[in-house]
Copies of this chain bind each other. A is one copy, B any other.
């Protein structure tokens, strides 16, 4: 069951060890002034708590916890295992990572532990245990936060050994490994488990994202690495559960971060939390998609664990958020399913590489700043509406499949076009629905498709066992499926589904793809629809033959002019759309409009508008989050006329103008 906080957490990272106690008192006053009711603490304090191998010292943490408890500030308690203590690396060099280039690291940075180091595991587990034992019954601790932003990889000897064990567990025999990875190719046949080398720069590997000599091996290493870190997470989680049976446990994820299979992780997390750091030029649709993905991980409300009140420090150009922008971004987050709003960070550090990262309290140390005032306004608003919003649900009839294993496989592939990127492809499809204010769920490959009227599976390159069957069942029962070029190509180990593309999807798509052309960046083709309209396409062009499907559009040029570029196939009671090339935004919109129409997909409101409108269903009412992310003023749709804005209590007027970052949260009672 999804945990629900008593009140909406509003606060963020707090690291008071860096400054004297006088400042703590000042902080508490400022928190209350700003409506901040929670802090995330103890994120990077391992070295402080455990100053040497056999010594633990909770004095300072006790003081922090006491101070916050006295002030009734809720606490998200981190376990501090996201950064190793210097003494541990010095004493046990194995706890540090060996990088892709084969270099064993010394002490430095963070997210730096070898996930397979027994020494790291021993002390991480012990630390989580001690924290839970000491603070597990503190009622102000409302959430445990394990480690921090898990990520990266290690290629040391410990990892090589653990990889071999993982493989033995998965494949049982070397014959199966050789077959899975097609090791006959280039004569790589393995006769002894110890001959397996992790795919890195000194072995068969090439850096993430580009090609690899044996994609099957690289895929397995990605799975192994994701699993290994997940084991680290579970180990700490279970240690905490010995002493605290109830408080929800999470770790902060990073949106579309490639390295970890978050759908698999979410199954082990009580609640999903994540860190949202768009750049100055990130489209708002991208942010919306990422929120939907994070909500989709457990199909439930999530925590926003981090965002900056104003600027970042680590991007090339760390622009300020404009007045109102942080507020609009926060409500977008809530609209897409967040039940908390938390900042990194509450007070700017005096030193270290993030000292210019935005904070609620600036280096000036005063409440008299624009940022503090904006945080305060939002704090008061959330205090007012928080409990009315929390736990409300987002529902969608469109599902877009996001599959980390497919993400890895597609981007490990050598050919046909190196510019093909997984998240780009997902995003192109998402954007159509976003622009129409059609609610979307981001769903895993093993989702219950029957909940959806339309399922999109762009570049479903890897079709694992059972996937084609479940998609067929979905379509046969009346569902609408959209898929594209570079789908149905390989199985779970990156070996090709022989017999003709799109392999196991061929039957339901009603097409056979004979060849796949690649267009260079300066090249374009065009497609023509039955109504004579033309649209551009690029990147990849399937040369396909209809096997029962009907043509939606055909190519206009090159030697395959006249061949089908987009096809539609009736299959059982449902329909499959197959898009054979990378269409322009307007071209893709035409195809998706057809599919959405035939699946009777409805937007959140009937009226077209450039406003972002998202609906959460609360008890007895629908809450519409209406936000203007455009540069020009936009009128409020007429449908909301006379409805209550829960922020102001006013009745809103259809046609009233919303400026950039202007917003309304409107309640419509549900019958």
Contacts and interface: CB of A to CB of B under 8 A. Distances in A.
Contacts of A51: 189, 191
Given A189-B47, A364-B512, A319 B517 contact: yes
A189 B85 contact: yes
Given A414-B356, A495-B351, A46 B108 contact: no
Interface string A6-21: 0000000001011000
Contacts of A414: 313-314, 353-354, 356
A433 B280 CA distance: 36
Contacts of A316: 417-419, 520
A500 B372 CA distance: 14
Interface in A159-196: 181-182, 184-192, 194-195
A563 B350 CA distance: 27
Interface stretch (A64-72, A204-212, A436-444): A204-212
Interface string A525-559: 00000000000000000010000000000000011
Most chain-B CB neighbours within 10 Å: which of A18, A365, A518? A518
Q: Interface majority SS on A: helix, strand, loop or mixed?
A: loop
B191 A352 contact: no
Contact of A195 (B18, B86, B182, B185): B86
Contacts of A519: 317, 319
B415 A44 contact: no
A186 B353 CA distance: 10
Contacts of A499: 363-365
Nearest to A44: B187
Interface string A52-86: 10000000000000000000000000001001011
Contacts of A355: 182, 494-496
Contacts of A138: none
Nearest to A316: B418
A500 B364 contact: yes
Interface stretch (A98-106, A113-121, A566-574): A98-106
Contacts of A543: 320, 370
A639 to B, nearest CB: 32
Contacts of A187: 44-48, 80, 83, 85, 110
B106 A197 contact: yes
A134 interface: no
Contacts of A191: 47, 51-52, 86-87
A670 B315 CA distance: 57
Interface stretch (A213-221, A290-298, A605-613): A213-221
A581 interface: no
Given A85-B187, A105-B203, A364-B500, A415 B110 contact: no
A314 B184 CA distance: 19
Nearest to A110: B186
A514 B313 contact: no
B512 A352 contact: no
B364 A185 contact: no
A251 interface: no
A559 B323 contact: yes
Contacts of A90: 192, 194-195
Contacts of A109: 186, 204, 213
Contact of A214 (B15, B353, B417, B490): B353
A315 to B, nearest CB: 8
B188 A311 contact: no
B352 A213 contact: yes
Nearest to A203: B108
Given A182-B351, A416-B356, A107 B197 contact: yes
A575 interface: no
Interface in A391-427: 413-419
A351 B498 contact: no
Interface string A321-333: 0110000000000
A194 B191 CA distance: 39
Q: Which 4 A-B pairs have the closest CB atoms?
A: A182-B351, A185-B352, A313-B415, A356-B415
13 contacts: A44-B186, A83-B186, A90-B194, A211-B353, A214-B351, A214-B352, A314-B414, A314-B415, A317-B418, A317-B521, A319-B518, A351-B490, A355-B495
Given A322-B559, A348-B496, 18 more contacts: A44-B187, A46-B187, A89-B195, A90-B192, A103-B202, A106-B197, A108-B202, A108-B203, A110-B186, A211-B353, A316-B418, A320-B518, A349-B496, A351-B496, A363-B496, A363-B501, A364-B501, A365-B500
